[in-house]
Structures are given as structure tokens and as C-alpha cells.
Amino acid sequence: MSELSPVERSELRKFGPWTIGIGVLLILIGMIGVGMPWVLSIVTSVYVAWLFLLGGAFWAYHTFKSHPGSFLDWLKPLLLIVTGGLMLFNPMAGVAALGLVLSFYLLLDAFGSFALAKALHPQTGWGWMVFNGLVSLLLAILFLIGWPATSMMLVGIYVGISLIFDGSALVAIGWAIRKVTREVG
């Protein structure tokens, strides 16, 4: 384990000394979000709204510089700006929209997992893909059954859990980097 290739050393250096700290912060934010999902849902909606507005502004600038006379080229930036503005004006509707988008994503994820499980079937691990597909399908059904009312809770919980897992992965990588750097030298 103490023999690392130059590529492996380079990859480890990319994470830097803040990996564990950032991971812990993500875990804490995720835990707060799971504890207060309505707050994280609103924050997520406002964040996405600002991304739409900024993306729309950049896209409008690009359209202005490249094809200012084409009506069809202005549709995308206009849609991004209007959607972002509506989400900022009414974050609750933005949360409901995000809930619907997440439910469709989870449905696609479930069907993708089932397809991968079928392709892997005789080999080890196919059952985990079926399990993953069932969990994604269950989450999608939960989103859709109570939509839009359940979006306030489920979007925040979903984002919070995602942050917890992202933070945990960074902490694990940070600890692995510390261990390897101690071993190597």
C-alpha cells in the first residue's frame, strides 16, 4: 500500500488538507436539513432560482453577442430568467416543481437500476441494484402520492441525506489520504 504511482499521488493531492473539514460541514448542514426539511427545501428552491437567473443572464449575453436578431435563440435565456424569477417570487411553487422533477429523476433511476440488475443477473451484486431500484421507486411514489404537499418535507430530506452522504464520502477520503500520507512519508 505504501507504493503509490505518480498518478495516484497526484490524485490524492487534488483533495487537499480541507477535505475532512468540508466533509464534516456537509454532514452538519445535511443533519440540520433533515431536522428542518422545510428550511432546506426553501433554500434549495432559492438556490436553483438564482442558478436559473444567472444562467439565463449569461445565455442572454451570449445570444446578444452571437445571434441578436434570432427570436428562437432568445427563448432559452428568456425561459431561464422567467423560471428563476418565478421561483424567487414564489419559492413554495419552486419547491413543488423541484419535487416533481426529483420524482421523475427517481423513476428513471429506478428503471435504470432494474435494467442494470437484469444485465448483471447471474453475477454477484445484481441484488443490490434491484434494492437500489426499489428504494428509488418507493421514493418516487412517495413524492408523487402527496405532491405538491409532500414536496416541502421530501425535497429537504432528500437534499439533506445527499449532503450527509457527500460529506461522509469526503471524510472517508480525507482519512484515507491521511493514512496513506503517513505511510508514504
Name the stretches of the chain with pLDDT < 70.
1-4, 7-16, 184-185
Q: Could you give the CA distance from residue 15 to residue 140 in angstroms, rounded to a whole number?
A: 34
Q: What is the pTM of this model?
A: 0.70
Structure confidence at residue 1 (pLDDT): 44
Residue 46 CA to chain centroid, in angstroms?
15
CB 47 within 8 A of CB 64: no
Q: Please report how many Cα atoms fall inside a 13 Å half-sphere around the Cα of residue 12, on the Cβ side.
A: 17
